[in-house]
RNA sequence: GCUCACGUAGCUCAGCGGAUAGAGCACUUCCCUCCGGAGGAAGGGGUCGCAGGUUCAAUUCCUGCCGUGGGCACCA
């Protein structure tokens, strides 16, 4: 799967609010003049200034001259840039250190913050994207693997929608296949009502384990289960009714978890494997007509180029098994057809664990060969790693079982409740429970989102619920403080928005630049489907705010003008922080 | 065996071809009756897995090796 190219996802950089881009634009012509061709000024954040321009070094090499000399020529060619830069210095081997003009930042802030979108650009070409995420299995407990898919997928959905794309959420639940024979027979043994009860309260693992156990030790049961699969696939009315009981009880349970987790998924987003049944036959037929289908060891397969098995022989994607049954490759291909041809989606995102990489590549290869996936339509595997315990191994409960997602989320809320009761005992009990939910769930989601998704991450209650460091509670706390100032001041937040900020202090300056970089941060996260990049930005924003708050008195400012200006910065920072957290699927309480 | 990821401070993690590689926690020293102390300042701590290569410049790109984990024909 190739990275996203083309106009659909890129944006016209001319409207970027990031001040570094203004610098880049302003110096582009000067670099072209000096270099005699287009040359990227290469503007980057810097430890030594607001930004550094690195382009002179490369140009000097090309011209065979001294980089510092090139830098001087560039400065000369750029002419008067005092409207955006208050200082320009050549440093080191030929860097140009840039300090942005306070006046410029002030003007930019006022313009950007008057926008409901806080400067975040809309995609120039709006596309339709199908995001495949969460995907729990019917009659099976949700675990931390589903947590990652659900949380990351949900954030990507929010990001895509925020920039104007149309998103179809696809919850590809596992509601079909051979295990349903044993599950239905177990349901019959238990009695529908009892079984519904057990599934309804979320004891899915127990139900599944019992069914599995009987299947393994009881030959008669095994035989019934096999016969039941045939009935199910044959569309037997009574069997389908029993099957529907399993599905609906499970989905009720999933919905409870989704509600607790505060994600966008609803019943309307469920697109179970069973819903593709009628499309599986046509997949085979179309592959046959396209002359891609071959028979190998009794199975109908396609051999996409470039895939080998452990013996070095071509590796097939099995479309139809030797016993005539279909498997998940068939179903995934049916999904591609459905999403591209029926829904008209041009971006197919799969928020699925990293181990599925090869399978998805093979599906993509076959779908492309068959002509079901033609550019600019593309598949994108948003892969993620495992959740580990503090021992560095896959997260397990004390007993060694997989951790139930529902139990984990409840524990998060409980822990947050304790923390808030300790730190803010005055808060009313009902408000406390609401806030505890936002903090606890936010902490879990943020700990999942804030590191590079492709890596494994270590699950650690204490760290994720800490109010220090790169955590959700720290960001939420920063937001609550921003809001708190307005209550203290007795000023409506909206009322400060008509004034313009006056940037003077260094901390105000730094904070203003950070706020203006929200657009860059959102697009950066979206370009790489990496919410953690947005997390890093929000953490820096909160850090910059804290420094500002510490050193720049707001309510006790020297003048009314300065007080209003600083309130303006508080409001702007709060708006960006709340919006950013929202794009991660995390709530930002006004008090905590 | 082939293949795909990952390897950065004691721990957990950022890091966009650019200057002296950052953050939080932990540790050491110090400060402050301050708009929410759920503070602030300073400090110690690194052969960026190893070795080559490309480049004016490599933690970043390329190749090889080492280590860890995953995948490699009818489970999904």
Query: Using 50, 70 and 90 to split pLDDT, how confident is the model at A399?
Result: confident
Mean pLDDT throughout A470-485? 94
Query: Using 50, 70 and 90 to split pLDDT, how confident is the model at A1?
Result: very low
pLDDT for residue A10: 43
- Nearest nucleotide relative to A454: CA against C1': B5
A405-583 CATH choice from 1.10.730.10, 3.40.50.300, 3.90.950.20, 3.30.1330.120: 1.10.730.10
Query: Using 50, 70 and 90 to split pLDDT, how confident is the model at A341?
Result: very high
Residues 379-418 of A with CB under 7 A from strand B: 385, 388, 392
Domain residue spans of chain A: 18-113, 128-174+272-384, 179-269, 405-583
Q: Is the CB of A552 under 7 A from strand B?
A: yes
Residues 15-44 of A with CB under 7 A from strand B: 42, 44
pLDDT for residue A14: 45
Q: How many angstroms separate the CA of A550 from the C1' of B39? A: 9
- Nearest nucleotide relative to A324: CA against C1': B74
Q: HSE, CB side, 13 Å, CA atoms: give it for residue A334.
A: 24
Q: How many angstroms separate the CA of A119 from the C1' of B51? A: 47
Q: Is the CB of A325 under 7 A from strand B?
A: yes
CATH 3.10.25.10 is the classification of domain A128-174+272-384: no
**Tokens standing for residue A360:** 């998805």
Alpha-carbon distances of A298 from A291, A316, A422, A573, rounded to whole Å: 17, 12, 66, 63
> Is residue A414 over pLDDT 90?
yes
Average per-residue pLDDT for chain A: 93
pLDDT for residue A473: 95
Mean pLDDT throughout A395-422? 90
> Is residue A2 over pLDDT 80?
no
At the topology level, CATH places domain A18-113 in Gyrase A; domain 2 (3.30.1360)
> Is residue A165 over pLDDT 80?
yes
pLDDT for residue A4: 40
Nearest CA to A389 out of A456, A453, A312 is that of A456
pLDDT for residue A3: 40
DSSP conformation letters of A156-215: HHHHHHHTT-EEEEEB--B--STHHHHHHHHHHHH-HHHHHHHHHTT-HHHHHHHHHHHH
Residue A540 host element (H or E): helix A531-551
Cβ-contact A387, A456 below 8 angstroms? yes
pLDDT for residue A200: 78
3-state secondary structure of A42: coil
pLDDT digits (tens, 9 = 90+) for A32-90: 999 999 999 999 999 899 999 999 999 999 999 999 999 999 999 999 999 999 999 99
Residue A402: DSSP 8-state: B
């Amino acid at each position: 799967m190739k990275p996203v190219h083309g106009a659909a996802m890129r944006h016209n950089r001319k409207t970027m609010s990031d001040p570094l881009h203004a610098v880049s634009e302003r110096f582009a012509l000067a670099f072209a003049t000096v270099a005699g061709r287009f040359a990227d000024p290469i503007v980057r954040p810097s430890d030594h200034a607001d930004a550094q321009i690195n382009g002179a070094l490369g140009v000097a090499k090309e011209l065979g001259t001294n980089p510092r000399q090139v830098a001087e020529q560039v400065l000369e060619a750029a002419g008067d840039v005092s409207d955006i830069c208050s200082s320009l210095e050549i440093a080191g081997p030929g860097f140009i250190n840039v300090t942005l003009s306070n006046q410029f930042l002030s003007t930019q802030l006022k313009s950007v913050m008057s926008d409901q979108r806080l400067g975040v650009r809309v995609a120039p070409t709006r596309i339709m994207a199908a995001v495949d995420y969460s995907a729990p299995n019917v009659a099976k407990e949700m675990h931390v693997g589903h947590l990652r898919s659900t949380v990351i997928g949900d954030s990507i959905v929010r990001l895509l929608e925020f920039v104007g794309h149309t998103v179809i959420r696809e919850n590809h639940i596992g509601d079909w296949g051979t295990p349903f024979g044993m599950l239905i027979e177990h349901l019959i043994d238990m009695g529908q009502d009892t079984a519904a009860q057990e599934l309804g309260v979320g004891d899915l693992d127990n139900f599944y384990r019992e069914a599995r156990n009987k299947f393994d030790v009881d030959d008669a049961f095994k035989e019934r289960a096999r016969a039941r699969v045939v009935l199910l696939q044959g569309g037997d009315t009574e069997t389908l009714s029993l099957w529907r009981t399993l599905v609906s009880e499970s989905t009720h349970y999933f919905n409870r978890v989704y509600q607790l987790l505060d994600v966008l998924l609803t019943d309307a987003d469920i697109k179970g494997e069973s819903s593709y049944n009628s499309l599986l036959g046509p997949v085979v037929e179309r592959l046959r007509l396209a002359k891609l289908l071959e028979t190998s060891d009794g199975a109908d397969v396609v051999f996409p180029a470039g895939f080998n098995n452990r013996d070095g022989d071509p590796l097939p994607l099995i479309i139809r098994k030797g016993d005539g049954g279909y498997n998940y490759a068939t179903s995934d291909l049916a999904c591609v057809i459905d999403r591209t041809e029926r829904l008209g989606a041009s971006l197919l995102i799969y928020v699925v664990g990293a181990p599925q990489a090869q399978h998805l590549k093979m599906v993509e290869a076959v779908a492309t060969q068959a002509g079901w996936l033609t550019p600019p339509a593309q598949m994108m595997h948003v892969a993620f790693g495992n959740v580990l315990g503090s021992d560095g191994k896959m997260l397990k409960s004390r007993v060694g079982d997989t951790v139930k997602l529902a139990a984990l989320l409840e524990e998060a809320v409980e822990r947050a409740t304790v923390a808030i009761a300790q730190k803010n005992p005055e808060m009313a009990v009902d408000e406390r429970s609401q806030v505890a939910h936002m903090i606890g769930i936010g902490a879990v989601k943020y700990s999942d989102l804030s590191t590079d998704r492709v890596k494994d991450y270590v699950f650690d209650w204490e760290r994720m619920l800490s109010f220090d460091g790169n955590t959700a509670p720290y960001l939420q706390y920063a937001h609550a403080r921003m809001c708190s100032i307005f209550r203290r001041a007795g000023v409506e937040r909206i009322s400060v928005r008509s004034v313009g900020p006056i940037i003077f202090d260094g901390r105000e300056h730094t904070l203003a630049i950070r706020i203006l970089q929200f657009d860059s941060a959102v697009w950066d996260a979206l370009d790489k489907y990496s919410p953690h990049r947005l997390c890093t930005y929000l953490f820096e924003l909160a850090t910059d705010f804290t420094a500002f708050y510490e050193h720049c008195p707001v309510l006790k400012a020297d003048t009314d003008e300065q007080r209003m200006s600083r309130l303006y910065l508080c409001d702007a920072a709060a708006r960006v922080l709340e919006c950013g957290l929202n794009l991660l699927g995390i709530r930002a309480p006004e008090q905590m």
